[in-house]
């Protein structure tokens, strides 16, 4: 951190000789930041407005009175509360199972000795390239035949399947960086392979598991195509589908719809604010490995 600061200072003194350039550069950066942020602020504003204000003279104005009723109505009349709970159930289960299955498979691939370990890794990695779209119809038919259509499992299973390849890639890479001595000494102490995995290796993979959890969370929470195809009953709909369903009903009531959009985004933004470094890191790790 200190090193960065020192570097900052030396660069900015150099820049002082070139003030106009610095200011115009800063101006452009701020302008782009405004383009990135203003639409989101506008969303929050209209989610707190009444129809008179939204469709009034100045749709860009700040709300006169904060209409929190929009949120209550979206949650309960618009069924967003139900969708929210469903999204949490589907996402949390998918994140946990992905982490466990990926850790187990990656450990066997990276650390145990068997002939096909590299071939197995290649097979999993090929999965990264497969577009979800090309599995849509067969999965739809399969889920219907297996009587899983309109259940949580109809979403959880596909989400795990599509999260595994990247998760395994990251974890195999991570296991490769851990020293072998730990396992060996545990073995000499008489631990079996399951104990070595569960009580020695698994706790060490926490950073990699955090990375995997973040992008599995984002993939599941934001997913639309599977969610709209594999579930048709209100009872199991997740937020993305629920919001798509709200559009027809609330076509002329932007306030409630806006409130729904904000509610669907709050958990993601909270996660981002509380650990933005970790979130950004999980994207760059995923990219470098992929």
Partner 1 sequence: MNKVFSDKKAIFLFVFPAFLVFFMIIILPIFFSAYYSTLDWNGIGKATFIGIQNYINLFVNNTDGFVMSIKNSFIVALLSVFVQVPLALILALVIAKGIKWEGLFRTVYFIPVIISTTVIGQLWMKIYQPKYGMLNNILDIVGLDFLKHNWLATPETALGSAFFVIIWQYIGYHMLLLYSGIKAIPTTIYEAAEVDGANNFQKATRITIPLILPMLKVCVTFALVGSLKTFDLIYVLTKGGPIHATEVPTTLMFSTIFLQNKYGYGSSMSIFIILECLVFTIFLQKVFKAETITY
Residues numbered 32 to 51 that lie near partner 1 (CB under 8 A) are 32-33, 35-40, 42-43, 46
Which range in 65-73, 76-84, 184-192, 203-211 contacts partner 1 by CB under 8 A?
184-192
Q: Which position among 197, 201, 253, 259 is part of the footprint of partner 1 (CB under 8 A)?
A: 197
Distance CA 119, CA 31 (A): 50
Instruction: Report which of 260, 236, 82, 271 is spatially closest to residue 156, judged by C-alpha positions.
Output: 236
Which range in 72-80, 147-155, 199-207, 250-258 contacts partner 1 by CB under 8 A?
250-258
Q: Which position among 26, 69, 118, 232 is part of the footprint of partner 1 (CB under 8 A)?
A: 26
**Is residue 29 close enough to count as binding partner 1 by CB under 8 A?**
yes
Q: Which position among 162, 174, 230, 236 is part of the footprint of partner 1 (CB under 8 A)?
A: 162
Compute the 3-state secondary structure of the chain and give helix, strand, coil in percent, each to the nearest 5: 80, 0, 20
Q: How far is the CB of 206 from partner 1 (least distance, A)?
A: 19
Angle at 203 between CA 201 and CA 205, to 5 degrees: 75
Q: How far is the CB of 67 from partner 1 (least distance, A)?
A: 16
Residues 66-95, one symbol each (x = binds partner 1 by CB under 8 A, - = not), give ------------------------------
Structure tokens given for 72: 């209550």
DSSP states of 140-191 as a string? HHHHHHTT-TTSSHHHHHHHHHHHHHHHHHHHHHHHHHS-THHHHHHHHTT-
Beta carbon nearer to partner 1, 72 or 289: 289
């Amino acid at each position: 951190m200190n090193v960065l600061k020192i570097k900052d200072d030396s660069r900015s003194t150099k820049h002082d000789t070139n003030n106009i350039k610095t200011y115009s550069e800063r101006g452009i950066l701020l302008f782009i930041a405004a383009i990135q942020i203003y639409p989101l602020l506008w969303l929050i504003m209209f989610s707190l407005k009444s129809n008179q204000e939204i469709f009034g003279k100045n749709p860009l104005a700040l709300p006169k009175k904060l209409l929190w009723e929009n949120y209550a109505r979206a949650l309960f009349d618009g069924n967003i509360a139900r969708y929210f709970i469903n999204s949490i159930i589907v996402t949390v289960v998918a994140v946990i199972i992905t982490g466990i299955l990926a850790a187990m498979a990656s450990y066997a691939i990276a650390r145990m000795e068997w002939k096909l370990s590299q071939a197995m890794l290649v097979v999993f990695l090929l999965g990264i390239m497969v577009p979800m779209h090309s599995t849509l119809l067969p999965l739809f038919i399969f889920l219907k035949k297996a009587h899983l259509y309109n259940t949580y499992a109809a979403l959880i299973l596909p989400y795990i399947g599509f999260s595994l390849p990247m998760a395994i890639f990251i974890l195999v890479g991570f296991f490769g960086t851990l020293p072998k001595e730990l396992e060996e000494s545990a073995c000499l102490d008489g631990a079996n392979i399951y104990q070595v995995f569960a009580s020695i290796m698994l706790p060490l993979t926490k950073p990699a598991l955090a990375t995997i959890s973040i992008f599995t969370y984002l993939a599941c929470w934001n997913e639309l195509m599977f969610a709209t195809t594999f579930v048709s009953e209100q009872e199991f709909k997740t937020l993305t589908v629920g919001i798509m369903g709200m559009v027809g009903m609330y076509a002329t009531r932007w306030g409630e719809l806006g409130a729904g959009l904000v509610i669907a985004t709050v958990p993601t933004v909270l996660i981002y604010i509380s650990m933005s470094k970790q979130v950004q890191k999980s994207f760059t790790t995923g990219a470098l490995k992929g």
